[in-house]
Amino acid sequence: MIFYFLFFILECFGIIMFLLCSVLMYFQLLCMIFKGLERKEYYYSLMKENVSENLLFISSNGVGSFKELGLGFL
């Protein structure tokens, strides 16, 4: 009878540990996904800034800027 009780305690402990580890694993996965999305958004904003700065450079300097950029054929 005592062996059944010990087995029941070990089984409950195993189930609790399994659920705890799976919840922590999913939480870690969600954190990695959100960090990746933030990083992607950060790089996208950097890229957007660079494109807008280049367009501003081209529009403010006129046709001469095309020659400076190596695009003299335009």
Rounded to 5 degrees, what are φ and ψ at 62? 75, -150
Q: Is 72 in contact with 66 (CB distance < 8 Å)?
A: yes
CA–CA gap between residue 53 and residue 58 (Å, rounded): 9
Confidence of residue 74 (pLDDT cuts 50, 70, 90): very low
Give the CA radius of gyration of the chain.
30
pLDDT at residue 38 in the model: 72
pLDDT at residue 51 in the model: 62
pLDDT at residue 60 in the model: 53
Structure confidence by residue, pLDDT tens digits, 23-72: 888 888 888 877 777 777 776 776 666 665 555 555 555 555 555 555 54
CA–CA gap between residue 49 and residue 41 (Å, rounded): 12
Q: Is 68 in contact with 61 (CB distance < 8 Å)?
A: yes
- Is 4 a residue whose pLDDT tops 80? yes
